[in-house]
Amino acid sequence: MDVIVCLKQVPDTETKIKINPEGTGIVTEGIKYVMNPYDEYAVEEALKIKEKFGGTVTIISMGPARVVDAIRNALAMGADEGVHLNDPAFEGSDSFTTAKILSKVIKDMKYDLILTGKQAMDFDCSQVFGCLAELLELPYVSVVTGLEISADGKTAIAKRETEGGVEEIIQMPLPAVVAAQKGLNEPRYASLPGIMKAKKKVIKEINLTTLGMTASEVGEAGSKMKTKNFQLPPERKAGKKIEGEPPEAVKEIVRMLHDEAKLI
């Protein structure tokens, strides 16, 4: 089984996000970047499949030079190869354009499964892999909490969460695109020999030219979605505490829900 894992490097979830004065993006200075937490589940699942079926695990990530850290991290966990899509022209690509770029790289590769996280914790769009599956004409299952590959490696059964706590079980032919949800597994911590080995691995760099696309097809130019500006969400107001004995307190809540919140 050859598995491709697409991952993204995102700001650490504890980062205090600041908007730049022009409102065109966030202040990137002083941000710690980490592998998108959902992508960690994807990497772990890929490694487990490799342990069971053999084959290789290839990591693909797009972004500036810093992204190499996230790729190395996955290599340290046990992945075999890394591909880095790095070109200033790629910057500003929206989900669809990203999927286009990815599909361009992946379509010439040998693979049985594409794994990824259900969404990236920066923009939370959750769009790329639907698009990618479409472009590659593959089945796509997201929010997956369990994945079973058949012994012959031809099909897979995925468990996925749906709203309302209902669990769907989906059988699909392989190759397919599967996006991981928390709970799929417990990602491993890279061993030190793994880290050392990963440091020495050559990561394949792909830029616009080697990819064979033009600047107008990628980045902001090639995107269908344009970002007007960035704003922080309004600060959440402090909650209200209702004092008093339960019978009075309940009356007060009902009154507030009715008069103020206008919910009932």
Partner 1 sequence: MEITREIFWNVGSWVRWPVYGLGLLVVIIFILGLVKRFRLWRIGKPDIRNDQILKRIGTVLSYGLFHKRILKEPYPGIMHLFIFWGFLFLLIGTALIFLQEDFTRLIFDKVFIQGSFYLTFSFILDLFGLMAIIGVLLAAFRRYILKPERLDNKLEDAFGLLLIFLVLVTGFTNEGLRIAVTRPEFERYSFVGWEISKIFSSSEQAIASLKTAHVVCWWFHVLLAFTFIGYVAYSKLIHLITSPLNQFFRSLTPQGEIKPIPDIENQETFGVAKLQDFTWKQLLDTDACTRCGRCQDNCPAHLSGKPLSPKKVIQDLRNHLNQSAGNLKKQGGGQEETVPIGGNVILEDELWACTTCAACQEACPVFVQVIDKVVDLRRYLVLMESKFSPEVKLFFKNMETNSNPWTIGFATRADWAKDLNLKNLSENKEVEYLLWVGCSGSFDERNRKVSRSLVSLLQKAGVSFGILGSEEMCCGETARRMGNEYLAQILMQQNIELFSNYGIKKIITLCPHCFNTFKNEYHQFGGNYRVFHYSELLLNLYQEGKLKWKTGIEMKAAYHDSCYLGRHNGIYNAPRMLLNSLPDTKVVEMKRNRAKSFCCGAGGGRMWMEETLGKRINQLRVEQIAATGASVVATACPYCLTMLEDGIKEKGLEKGLSVLDITEILDKAC
Least distance (Å) from partner 1 to the CB of residue 195?
7
Report the 10 Å Cβ neighbour count for 259. 9
Instruction: Report the residue from 182, 188, 201, 204 that binds partner 1 according to the rule CB under 8 A.
Output: 188
Give 34 or 176: the residue with its C-beta nearer to partner 1. 34
Least distance (Å) from partner 1 to the CB of residue 191?
5
Q: Name the residue among 2, 61, 7 with its Cα closest to residue 180.
A: 7
Which positions from 196 through 215 interact with partner 1, judged by CB under 8 A?
196
Radius of gyration of the chain (CA): 22
Q: How remote is the C-alpha of 72 from its chain's centroid?
A: 17
How far, in Å, are 55, 94, 115, 156, 177 from residue 140 at the CA level? 22, 19, 10, 11, 5
Instruction: Report the residue from 20, 24, 28, 191 that binds partner 1 according to the rule CB under 8 A.
Output: 191
Instruction: Report the residue from 162, 189, 235, 239 that binds partner 1 according to the rule CB under 8 A.
Output: 189
Which positions from 23 through 42 interact with partner 1, judged by CB under 8 A?
30, 32, 34
β-pair type (33-35, 113-117): unpaired
Instruction: Report the residue from 121, 135, 172, 195 that binds partner 1 according to the rule CB under 8 A.
Output: 195
246: CB partners within 8 A, 6+ apart: none
Instruction: Report the residue from 21, 164, 165, 193 that binds partner 1 according to the rule CB under 8 A.
Output: 193
Q: Which parts of this chain interact with partner 1 (CB under 8 A)? A: 12-16, 30, 32, 34, 186, 188-193, 195-196
